[in-house]
Chains A and B, each alone.
Chain A
Amino acid sequence: MNALLAVPLLVPLCGAAVTLLLRRTPRSQRITGTTTLSVVVVAAALLLWHTRDGTIATAQAGAWEAPLGITLVADPTSALLLLVSSVVLLIVLLYAIGQDIGGLSRATPQVFHPVYLVLTAGVNLSFLAGDLFNLFVGFEVMLTASYALITQAPTRARVRASMIYTTVSLTSSILFLTGIALVYALTGTVNLADVSDKLDAAPPALRMVLALLFLVVFGIKAAVVPMHFWLPDSYPVALTRISAIFAALLTKVAVYAVIRTQTLLFARDDTSAVLAVIAVVTMIVGILGALVQSDINRIMSFALVSHIGFMLFGLALGTVAGLAGAVVYLVHHIVVQATLFLVNGLIRQYVGHTSLTDIRGLTAVSPALAVFFFLPALSLAGLPPLSGFVAKVALFQAGVDAGGLLAWAGLAAGVLTSLLTLIAIFRVWTRAFWGTPRPDVLEAREQLRSGANRGGLRIMTATTGAMVAVGVAVALAAGPLTEVGFTAAEGLLDGRAYVTAVLGEGAR
């Protein structure tokens, strides 16, 4: 088990080094990238298989016993998220490769491949980290890679946006470091299991302050209202393949960190009221933002902010069912957001931009594109039988079971947000997809389809289709997925099992 836990972390880092050496031969760079991510997918699948019954796999680096050494931990939650994110990373890489083959992107592939693999390592380390400082390092590896990615093909707007993005992320990282210092001062350890053990004895007021500090730290990174302003300004400006992976993964890693810290370290009623209020505000403010935007990428960015609220709502409920709903929602949301941004990339390829004021008749331009947009968009709004419906039903069911004023407020906000999401989507649909396309767009399409880059366009369309298929598969596998979600949620709430798994039976 030991070796398997290190694979999602070390293989991408080695892959990054190899792709950096191979920068003069794009072909071998692509092969290395794809192979690396395929290995990670297999390792993640094996990990999920191993932990599916709630087993917690641990690895102590260099055989230094916890809490002294570096600990990697995989429980069902992290294994599930690891699998989904590595599948998404693989598909987006294939999409990017298609774009590069077709010569349809202004990205620098020599830089893109190594940095993309470093980002993968950072995401995976964040999921597997067994101590706070490694979580910090995982975040930094991921974010530093994302700083480099967001400035790919630097235009004026992109440099401006990445400046804001970098500054905001760095500020939250510094607060994270401060939080680590405070935790260390209070408990004398940074190992998550050990901290969880020792925080029990800490004064409740101090614990509350720490819980809120970590909520702010990860709230900034997860773009939770009112700390979301940076996201809609920076994500839509980046290259589409990059905003796809950002939208799918970066905020979700932060949500995972919120769930992990709030359940394991502060597993009390300290913050659930705060969380519930934040969840409601995030849902409503985010979706209201989406309704008034006129650029598809910006609409999707605001919808992304809004739907973070659903996962926080599941966490705020604090029940097994609520957390299971949050985990299922995470899986659904990672896939759907990635698909929608890939579709936006295809739209940009056909029309040249994603501003609603100047797009019509996309259905006539490419029927496949219309289907690829329609399915995940409806899934985002939560229409049956798509994956969004499954996730929302799980959450709403948990909310009804939990009862209480805050739960009902969350439910009302959730239903309202789903309806408003539907309106936002139909605005895009009627404006961009109905009507007759402009003649020059049709001409450009013919050129695109008959020119030398049609192979690349085909790969892009096929990979987007694959991502839609993954989304449908999530809906089809709703039964087993919910089962794993419940196992994961039970594991999250059972801090004792986590502590025992990491520190051994001898722990208090």
Chain B
Amino acid sequence: MNAPSLLLVAAVAVLYSSGFYLLLQRSLMRVVFGILILGHAANLSLLVTDTAITLPPLLGGEPGQQLSDPLPHAMALTAIVITFGVTTFLLALAYRVWLDDENDEVPDDLEDRRISRLKEPEDSS
């Protein structure tokens, strides 16, 4: 069996780490990009599972030769459609937030704000 190339595995690792890094940012646009990259990372990791990825899919091979595994491709396609649809939705939401507030920063958590309000009197005294 042809093992997945190390390059592909490294690409998956880089995509995951940069995706999660962007996901943790304040700006909603960066969050959307993070989701986008994470989607690619997941799709690519589906393809890495194909142990015969270097072989031709369906056409182009010699008769009787083994083909690459179609199932990961099918699953990746479905996942691409889903992430594509949801990303457009996220973009629309981010745009809406920007229209409403003129910025797209994620605000502090409601509880955090309540706690910091509780703390304020002590600071001033």
Contacts and interface: CB of A to CB of B under 8 A. Distances in A.
B38 A174 contact: yes
B31 A167 contact: yes
Nearest to B107: A160
Interface string B89-110: 1100110110011000011011
A13 to B, nearest CB: 16
Interface string A137-161: 1001000100110010010100110
A184 interface: yes
A164 B109 CA distance: 11
B14 interface: no
Contacts of A166: 86, 89-90, 93
A218 to B, nearest CB: 16
A181 B12 CA distance: 12
B96 A181 contact: no
A151 B92 CA distance: 11
B46 A171 contact: no
Interface string A169-200: 01101100110111011000010000000000
A162 interface: yes
A154 B94 CA distance: 13
A144 B86 CA distance: 7
Q: Which residue of B79, B94, B109 has the most chain A CB atoms within 10 A of its CB atom?
A: B79
Nearest to A155: B100
Given A133-B75, A144-B85, A174-B42, A181 B49 contact: yes
A174 B43 CA distance: 9
B38 to A, nearest CB: 5
Interface residues of B, number: 34
Nearest to B38: A174
Given A177-B42, A233-B109, A171 B35 contact: yes
Q: By DSSP majority rule, is chain B's interface helix, strand, loop, or mixed? A: helix
B48 A229 contact: no
B72 to A, nearest CB: 7
A163 B38 contact: no
Nearest to B114: A292
B42 A178 contact: yes
A168 B98 CA distance: 20
Interface residues of A, number: 30
Interface in A89-134: 133
B71 interface: yes
Contacts of B79: 177
A65 B28 CA distance: 45
Interface in B45-103: 45-46, 48-49, 71-72, 75, 78-79, 82-83, 85-86, 89-90, 93-94, 96-97, 100-101
Nearest to B28: A163
Contacts of B41: 174, 178
Contacts of A181: 42, 45-46, 48-49, 72
Contact of A184 (B23, B46, B82, B89): B46
Contacts of A147: 86, 89
A163 B93 contact: yes
Contacts of A170: 35, 83, 86, 90
A144 B48 CA distance: 27
B78 A167 contact: no
A120 to B, nearest CB: 19
A156 B100 contact: yes
Contacts of A180: 46, 75
A160 B31 contact: no
Given A177-B46, A181-B46, A233-B109, A171 B23 contact: yes
Given A174-B42, A181-B48, A137 B78 contact: yes
A240 B101 CA distance: 25
A154 B96 contact: yes
Contacts of B100: 156, 159
Contacts of A148: 89
A160 B38 contact: no
Contact of A163 (B45, B48, B71, B97): B97
A133 B86 CA distance: 18
Contacts of B106: 163-164
B63 to A, nearest CB: 24
A147 B86 CA distance: 9
A160 B89 contact: no
Interface in B21-35: 23, 28, 31, 35
A467 B89 CA distance: 33
Contacts of B39: 174
A163 B75 contact: no
A133 B106 CA distance: 32
B109 A163 contact: no
A177 B86 CA distance: 15
Contacts of B78: 133, 137
Contacts of A163: 28, 90, 93-94, 97, 106
A169 B96 CA distance: 19
B93 A151 contact: yes
Contacts of A164: 106
Interface of A: 133, 137, 140, 144, 147-148, 151, 154, 156, 159-160, 162-164, 166-167, 170-171, 173-174, 177-178, 180-182, 184-185, 190, 229, 233
22 contacts: A144-B89, A147-B86, A163-B93, A163-B94, A167-B23, A167-B90, A170-B83, A170-B90, A171-B23, A171-B35, A173-B82, A174-B35, A174-B38, A174-B41, A174-B42, A177-B46, A178-B41, A184-B49, A184-B75, A185-B48, A190-B75, A233-B109
